[in-house]
Amino acid sequence: MKHSFIDKYSSLESPIHRISSSFKFTFAFTFLITVLLLPLDKIEFSGIIIAFVFLMVFSAILASRVPISFVLKRSAVILPFSVFIMMTNFILCGGKLEILLMFFLKSYISILIIILLVSTTSFASIISVLSRIHLPRVFIIAFSFMYRYFFVLIDELEKMLRAVKLRSCGIKRRRLLMTYVHIIGILFIRSYERAERVYKAMVLRGFDGKSDNL
């Protein structure tokens, strides 16, 4: 099956792609921290900084030659979670619409920064940078396996959904909804079983969590 890899545009030729991965990671991390630490109550000050960061990031996206449609689709996948958290906080804690808008902008710009970094830097380069900054080994291993087996799990999910679609003719909506709930449980069980098999296979090959070969 064909998948849209996270770093599918990391091999393009552009001024942004030619920048070292360490510099891009530092740039992204600095901008992320700057955006996240902006006070929500100081609308004018935070608004100016957010506008500046947005222009910088958007200009970098244009210079990277990564399709805008790809960036928008990627951000649209993550945005619902931000909107949910934003609306939950607004309903439970109350607040002004200006602060709500500021929270939304901070979330969206943070998403764009991450998409820019991942789209212009190969996953292997990102892992290399994380190793150089001495991120705990367990996190690096977890990220590597997450990237390698994410598409395998997507294949499993697509096969189960296709099977349900072929057998769902005439099934009531409530029963179909329960079937989808069961699929989530089955996918979790299969993921756990696959993780166990991969772990045992690596142990049999002498992997101890410290070697460089993942």
For 65-97, write each residue's pLDDT tens digit: 888 888 888 888 777 777 777 777 667 666 677
- One domain, residues 170 and 76: no
- One domain, residues 69 and 122: yes
In a domain? residue 10 = no
Q: Which tokens in the block code for residue 214?
A: 């993942």
- One domain, residues 72 and 159: no
In a domain? residue 213 = no
Residue 151 structural domain: 136-204
Counting the structural domains of the chain, the total is: 2
- One domain, residues 22 and 98: yes
Residues 69 and 63: their CA atoms lie apart, in Å, by: 15
In a domain? residue 1 = no
Q: Which amino acid makes up residue 34?
A: T
In a domain? residue 6 = no
User: Of 31, 34, 37, 74, which is closest to residue 56 (Cα–Cα)?
Assistant: 31
Q: What share of the chain is helix, strand, coil (3-state, %, to 5)?
A: 75, 0, 25
- One domain, residues 105 and 172: no
- One domain, residues 110 and 159: no
- Average pLDDT of the chain is 79
In a domain? residue 44 = yes
In a domain? residue 126 = yes
pLDDT of residue 95: 61
Which of 131, 146, 171 is a domain's end point? 131
pLDDT of residue 94: 62
- One domain, residues 30 and 58: yes
- One domain, residues 55 and 122: yes
pTM reported for the whole predicted model? 0.70
In a domain? residue 189 = yes
Which of 131, 160, 178 is a domain's end point? 131
Which of 131, 161, 191 is a domain's end point? 131
pLDDT of residue 160: 81
- One domain, residues 154 and 176: yes
Q: For the chain, which residues score pLDDT lower than 70?
A: 1-6, 41, 89-90, 92-95, 169-171, 209-214
* Torsion from C-alpha of 32, 37, 42, 46, nearest 10 degrees: -20
- One domain, residues 160 and 142: yes
